[in-house]
């Protein structure tokens, strides 16, 4: 067995590992019914299938409910400060190609206080996977609206309704030059496992937005999407974009826009065929815009974009390898000795 | 031939428009002078604007060099010689020149219009206002342009060689060696042979002009200064800091990782370290100051030596992350090249007003060792020491430098790297405890002597653990809100930093007579002015003691004793008395604060006369 591209350089485990190996001795302390439980369980099972050594996984988080995640995984981890996890993980990934690096963050942590770091990690394409738990609310600070809350949201800090336009994290990531962008949902373990596995295979920054229910402050935020009649638009590479059992589809209109239609009413040739590897990001971006900005009635899930682009940390290490002196110790001595020197005698 | 006059010391200030190449001219004259074997100290002084409007006072850039046949510690208060390349440079610097001082001035720009631009109604070269000075008014631009006519340069390019003409002239006047400058120009303009040759021609023309004309009656000779035996080079504080960080990491057997964001006057540390991939240094120019320190902490977590270099405004942004370093007890070196504040302040001007920020500028009880370099060359030793403390005690360390040290140059005895002590990171590789009878790694188990915690890096089998910014349970490092645990951990973190006192030398007092009753206590870059003033005071037959702190936290064990051993303690600082405040709070002794916040080093002559008054007043009181 060899490690996938995204994990090349990470040592492989001789013994097969299980979910239990990745379960720490810490009691999980999320609220009953929190979507984080199923994401944690899915992650622990998924990471055990990667075939890598347990001690070579590092999870860095910021602040928020989701950021408690590292404590519950028996690997190396850092629960850091608000919004900065991508920056800290960048330092880990650059210096250690033998590590499987993860960032766990939420909609407040990643998109509000840490927006700048997220954007630049994606731009650089540092080899790591970012799980963005999006519950569209601030949980840890007890229920204020977040940068993904719908306009008009009534919360403790917006008693007359929130006024600011929400971010679409997928659109944002594609705009920030991300090479791997996907979305999944806490309630679908199979789908989440597939997406996370694909994310680890990708070399560079993988952003996975995970719709996650907060039963306390924003319960059922994603309920309208679920069930056989729901409007989760599942993206499959190489396949036409059909959903709700094929009843609906996504077509490209004559003016070039993407639009949801009733499959029976359209010319089958106009149905969009998804290609996650397209170099041009415009179709992936257009698909991301099918997400309702307000109360969610429809949203695509799956991998929007998965393109090959050099990982920043690989380039950094390659550059050092290229210019590194054969004997760094003597090279250092000669650098320090400088060019123009003179000899002094005590006079 | 003019006669050769021996001098012991000279201070030259080169001043011109910011586009005139004054920093380069000063650097080259410094290099020639260092190679000749004089002791040197320099003070570059330039506007923050890259190109302020030409010919205006805000656009004036200057470079001051003090060189001598004996050991010196400062670039000098005032110049003996002012080289002014335009009217603005003359006007901006004239007030610093003592009567009788030498002025070499380029007459080319002394037009009515240019004079009016800076508010001069008449030409000072003609109206007799400079009679107190020894003025050499020379059309440097015209002579340089003529000297390079054969190269077919544009008028603008030709006139730009005037700085090399001036350098050639000064090199002759002070009998400087010239080979290194030719070599330098050859390398700098290797791809532009015409520019290279024109600059060399202008330099030679300037040198010959001094030799053949009778403008100068004398040629000066400043003999080499005696220095301890060894091989020397010149070095700026920022370069010395960069080298110290590389050597510190190398001595620990760790990769040096610099996460940083460009900021004046610290950027040269990034520039140098980004070149040093040849010795394995990794640099990361982050999106902001916070990401810079964050990446450095990430690198340290993963087993490298994380470093971040910045100035005061950057430290303000990094404060929360430094606190994370305190809580997670990971090595981190934060270099603050201080500049005038608050806010953006004066980015290119020096100050020492970030001491209290370094000591206390974080939320919660957040002790951090603080070290300050006293001179440009001392930046090397201080940086190595900062790395040593950071690794040994698993803690962020703040190293304070400042704009004056960062850009100023001194001769540096090239160290033998084998003489520098190794640093042992002592990574944990074994299980060190148990819970309920089961073996368990305890990341917050401590070395009983240093209180440094057990540090296991990712990839170490069996020692998987989690750390973070939430309060840690002693030993396990698990999240803990237990009141007694927080009290214990708060006191333990403080005790760990306080305990570093056992690892630092006692404060040494320089009191040659042993009879001084006044102590001058400094820290950081005030070392030079304090030492120079004290020497002058002692020459008057008075006694004065001096001492200098490298370690600001913890402070040397004997400091309390030193403070009470003198009748008066004077603390000169380029701030409003920050060290003085700390000393009084901690040691309950009266100290006199001596504050100057002009964006410039403290004046030697002023400090000398103030010291004399203090000493004499004390004498009077006790009579």
* Cis-peptide into B254, omega within 30 deg: no
Number of residues that make up chain A: 347
* 112-141 in chain A: CB under 8 A from chain B: 116-117, 119-120
Contact A55 B459 (CB under 8 A): yes
**Of B232, B243, B303, Cβ closest to residue A336:** B243
pLDDT at A339: 79
pLDDT for position B2: 64
B298 CA to chain A: closest CA distance, Å?
4
CB-based contact, A87 to chain B, within 8 Å = yes
Check whether residue B355 and residue B245 sit in a common domain: yes
Instruction: Work out the minimum CA distance from A334 to partner chain B, whole angstroms.
Output: 10
Partners of residue A340 in chain B, C-beta under 8 Å? 31, 34-35, 180, 233-234
| Cα–Cα distance, A198 to A200 (Å, whole number) | 5
End position of a domain, from candidates B221, B244, B277: B221
pLDDT single digits (tens) B370-420: 999 999 999 999 999 999 999 999 999 999 999 999 999 999 999 999 999
CA distance B158 to B144: 7
Of A60, A96, A319, the CB nearest to B277: A319
Residues B275 and B408 reside in one and the same domain: yes
Is A37 an interface residue toward B (CB < 8 Å)?
no
Q: Report pLDDT for A2.
A: 60
Strands A76-79 vs A57-61: parallel, antiparallel or unpaired: parallel
Alpha carbon separation from B577 to A42, B231, B339, B584 (Å, rounded): 58, 39, 16, 11
Give the pLDDT confidence score for residue B55 in this predicted structure: 87
Q: Are B238 and B379 in contact (CB under 8 A)?
A: yes
C-beta neighbour count of A55 within 10 angstroms:
21
* Largest pairwise CA distance in chain B: 95
The reply to whether B577 and B542 lie within a common domain is yes
Cα of B464 to nearest chain A Cα, Å? 5
Asked whether the beta carbons of residue B226 and residue A323 sit closer than 8 angstroms, the reply is no
Shortest distance between the Cα of B149 and any Cα of chain A, in A, equals 31
Mean pLDDT over the full length of chain B: 94
One domain, residues B395 and B468: no
Residues B39 and B13 both lie in one domain? yes
Q: What percent of chain A shows pLDDT beyond 70?
A: 97
In a domain, B428, yes or no: no
Q: Do B208 and B293 belong to one domain?
A: no
- The pair of structure tokens assigned to B347 is 């980015």
Q: What's the N-to-C CA distance of chain B in angstroms?
A: 58
Residues A39, A212: contact at Cβ < 8 Å?
Answer: yes
- Would you call B302 and A24 a contact, using CB atoms and an 8 Å cutoff? no
Handedness of CA A123, A127, A131, A137 (dihedral sign): negative
Alpha carbon distance B596, B350 (integer Å)? 11
With respect to residue B228, please indicate whether it lies within any of the assigned structural domains. no
Task: Tell me: do B412 and B456 sit in the same domain.
Answer: no
pLDDT band at A225 (very low <50, low <70, confident <90, very high): confident
The enclosing domain of A192 has a CATH number of 3.40.50.970
In a domain, A330, yes or no: no
Range of the domain at A81: 5-219
Cβ contact, residue pair B291, A342, below 8 Å: no
Give the whole-angstrom CA distance, residue A253 versus residue A322: 50
Both structure tokens of B420: 């520098």
Of A52, A53, A78, which to mutate for an interface test with B (greatest number of B Cβ within 10 Å)? A78
Q: Give tens-digit pLDDT for B353-375.
A: 999 999 999 999 999 999 999 99
C-alpha distance from A9 to closest chain B C-alpha (Å): 12
Q: Which two tokens stand for residue A340?
A: 């123009």
- Put simply, whether B181 touches A (Cβ < 8 Å) is no
Q: Which of B221, B244, B275 is the last residue of a domain?
A: B221
Residue tagged 């400042």 (tokens): B402
- Tell me whether residue A315 is in a domain: no
Pairing state between β B466-468 and A76-79: parallel
Asked whether residue B186 is domain-assigned, the answer is yes
| Whole-angstrom distance, CA of residue B58 vs CA of residue B574 | 23
Contacts of B285 (CB under 8 A, 6+ apart): B260, B261, B262, B270, B274, B292
Cα-Cα-Cα-Cα torsion A280, A286, A287, A293, nearest 10 degrees, comes to 140
Q: Which residue has the tokens 């004398």?
A: B218
Tally the domains of chain B.
4
DSSP state of B507: P
Segment A300-327 mean pLDDT = 97
B73: pLDDT strictly greater than 60: yes
Whether B141 and B108 have beta carbons less than 8 Å apart is answered as: yes
Q: For A84, which of B255, B290, B478 is closest by C-beta distance?
A: B290
* B281 in the same domain as B175: no
Is B541 in contact with B548 (CB distance < 8 Å)? Answer: no
Q: Taking 80 as the threshold, does the pLDDT of residue B582 lie above it? A: yes
Domain of B146, CATH number, reads 3.40.920.10
- Kindly report the three-state secondary structure assignment for every residue of B530-571: HHHHHHHHHHCCCCCEEEEECEEECCCCCHHHHHHCCCEEEE
Which phi and psi (to 5°) does residue A111 adopt? -105, -20
A323 touches chain B (CB under 8 A): yes
List the domain range (segments joined by +) for residue B335.
Answer: 233-419
Residue B215 scores a pLDDT above 80: no
Do B195 and B308 fall within a single domain? Answer: no
Give A-chain residues touching B321 at CB under 8 angstroms. Answer: 81, 84
Note whether B125 and B250 are same-domain residues.
Answer: no
- Of B387, B419, B451, which residue sits at a domain end? B419
Q: Are residues B216 and B238 in the same domain?
A: no
Question: How many domains does chain A fold into?
Answer: 1
* Cβ–Cβ under 8 Å, residues B373 and B244: no
Q: Are residues B444 and B368 in the same domain?
A: no
* Tens-place pLDDT, residues B421-447: 999 999 999 999 999 999 999 999 999
pLDDT, position B211:
87
CATH code, domain carrying B394:
3.40.50.970
B215/A contact by beta carbon, under 8 A = no
Give one DSSP letter per residue of B252-311, joined into a string: TT--EEEEE---TTTHHHHHHHHHGGGGT-EEEE-SSHHHHHHHHHHHHHTTSEEEEEE-
- To the nearest whole Å, the CA of A275 is away from the closest chain B CA by 32
């Amino acid at each position: 067995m060899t490690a996938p591209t995204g994990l090349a350089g990470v040592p492989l485990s001789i013994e097969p590992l299980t979910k239990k190996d990745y379960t720490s001795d810490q009691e999980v302390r999320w609220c009953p019914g929190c979507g984080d439980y199923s994401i944690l369980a899915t992650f622990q099972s998924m990471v055990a299938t990667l075939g890598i050594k347990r001690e070579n996984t590092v999870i860095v988080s910021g602040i928020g409910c989701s950021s408690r995640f590292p404590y519950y995984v028996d690997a190396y981890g850092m629960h850091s400060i608000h919004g900065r996890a991508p920056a800290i993980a960048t330092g880990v990934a650059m210096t250690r190609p033998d590590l499987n690096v993860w960032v766990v963050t939420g909609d407040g942590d990643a998109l509000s206080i840490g927006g700048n770091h997220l954007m630049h990690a994606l731009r650089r394409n540092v080899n790591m996977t970012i799980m963005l738990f999006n519950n569209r609310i601030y949980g840890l600070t007890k229920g204020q609206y977040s940068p993904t809350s719908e306009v008009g949201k009534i919360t403790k800090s917006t008693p007359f309704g929130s006024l600011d336009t929400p971010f679409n994290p997928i659109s944002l990531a594609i705009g920030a030059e991300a090479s791997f962008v996907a979305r999944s949902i806490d309630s679908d373990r199979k789908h989440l496992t597939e997406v996370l596995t694909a994310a680890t295979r990708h070399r560079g920054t993988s952003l996975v937005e995970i719709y996650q229910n907060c039963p306390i402050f924003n319960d059922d935020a994603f309920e309208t999407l679920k069930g056989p009649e729901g409007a989760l638009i599942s993206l499959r590479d190489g396949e036409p974009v059909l959903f709700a059992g094929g009843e609906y589809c996504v077509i490209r209109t004559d003016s070039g826009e993407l639009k949801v239609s009733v499959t029976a009413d359209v010319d089958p040739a106009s149905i969009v065929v998804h290609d996650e590897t397209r170099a041009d990001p415009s179709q992936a971006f257009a698909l991301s815009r099918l997400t309702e900005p307000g109360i969610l009635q429809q949203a695509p899930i799956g991998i929007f974009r998965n393109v090959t682009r050099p990982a920043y940390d690989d380039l950094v290490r390659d550059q050092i390898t290229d210019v590194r002196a054969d004997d760094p110790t003597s090279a250092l001595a000669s650098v320090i000795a400088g060019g123009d020197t003179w000899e002094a005698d005590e006079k | 031939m003019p006669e050769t006059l021996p001098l012991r010391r000279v201070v030259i200030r080169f001043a011109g428009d910011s586009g005139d190449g004054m920093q380069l001219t000063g650097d080259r004259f410094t290099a020639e002078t260092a190679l000749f074997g004089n002791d040197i100290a320099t003070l570059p002084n330039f506007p923050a604007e890259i190109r302020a409007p030409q010919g205006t006072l805000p656009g004036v850039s200057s470079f001051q060099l003090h060189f001598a046949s004996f050991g010196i510690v400062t670039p000098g208060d005032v110049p003996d010689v002012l080289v002014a390349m335009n009217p603005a440079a003359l006007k901006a610097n004239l007030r610093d020149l003592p009567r009788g001082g030498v002025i070499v001035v380029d007459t080319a720009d002394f037009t009515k219009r240019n004079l009016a631009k800076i508010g001069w109604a008449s030409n000072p070269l003609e109206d007799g206002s400079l009679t107190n000075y020894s003025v050499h008014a020379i059309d440097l631009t015209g002579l340089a342009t003529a000297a390079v006519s054969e190269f077919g340069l544009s008028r603008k390019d030709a006139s730009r060689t005037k700085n090399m003409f001036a350098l050639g002239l000064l090199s002759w006047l002070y009998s400087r060696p010239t080979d290194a400058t030719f070599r330098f120009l050859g390398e700098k303009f290797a791809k532009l042979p015409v520019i290279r040759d024109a600059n060399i021609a202008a330099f030679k023309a300037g040198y010959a002009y001094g030799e053949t004309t009778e403008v100068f009656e004398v040629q000066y000779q400043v003999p080499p200064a005696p220095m301890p035996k060894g091989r020397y080079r010149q070095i700026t504080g920022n370069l010395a800091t960069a080298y110290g960080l590389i050597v510190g990491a190398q001595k620990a057997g760790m990769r040096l990782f610099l996460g940083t964001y460009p900021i004046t006057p610290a950027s040269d540390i990034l520039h140098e370290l980004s070149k040093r991939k040849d010795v394995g240094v990794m640099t990361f120019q982050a999106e902001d100051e916070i990401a810079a320190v964050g990446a450095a902490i990430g690198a340290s977590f993963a087993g490298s030596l994380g470093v971040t270099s910045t100035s005061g405004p950057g430290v303000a942004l990094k404060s929360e992350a430094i606190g994370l370093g305190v809580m997670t007890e990971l090595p981190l070196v934060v270099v603050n090249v201080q500049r005038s504040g608050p806010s953006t302040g004066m980015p290119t001007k020096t100050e020492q007003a970030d001491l209290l920020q370094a000591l206390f500028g974080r939320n919660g009880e957040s002790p951090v060792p603080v070290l300050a370099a006293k001179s440009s060359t001392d930046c090397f030793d201080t940086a190595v020491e900062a790395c040593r403390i950071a690794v040994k005690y698993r803690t962020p360390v703040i190293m304070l430098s400042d704009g004056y040290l960062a850009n100023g140059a001194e001769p540096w005895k090239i160290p033998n790297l084998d003489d520098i002590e190794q640093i042992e990171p002592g990574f944990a590789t074994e299980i060190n405890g148990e819970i309920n009878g089961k073996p368990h790694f305890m990341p917050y188990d401590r070395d009983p002597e240093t209180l440094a915690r057990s540090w296991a890096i990712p990839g170490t089998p069996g020692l998987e653990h989690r750390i973070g910014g939430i309060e840690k349970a002693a030993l396990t490092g698990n999240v803990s809100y237990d009141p007694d645990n927080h009290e214990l951990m708060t006191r333990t973190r403080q005790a760990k930093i306080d305990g570093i006192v056992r690892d630092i030398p006692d404060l040494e007092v320089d009191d040659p007579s042993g009879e001084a009753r006044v102590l001058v206590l400094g820290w950081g870059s005030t070392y030079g002015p304090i030492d120079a003033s004290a020497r002058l005071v002692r020459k008057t037959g008075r006694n004065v003691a001096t001492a200098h702190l490298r370690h600001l936290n913890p402070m040397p064990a004997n400091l309390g004793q030193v403070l009470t051993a003198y009748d008066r303690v004077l603390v000169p600082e380029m701030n409003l008395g920050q060290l003085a405040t700390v000393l009084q709070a901690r040691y309950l002794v009266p100290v006199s604060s001596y504050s100057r916040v002009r964006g410039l080093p403290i004046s030697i002559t002023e400090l000398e006369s103030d010291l004399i008054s203090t000493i004499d007043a004390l004498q009077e009181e006790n009579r």
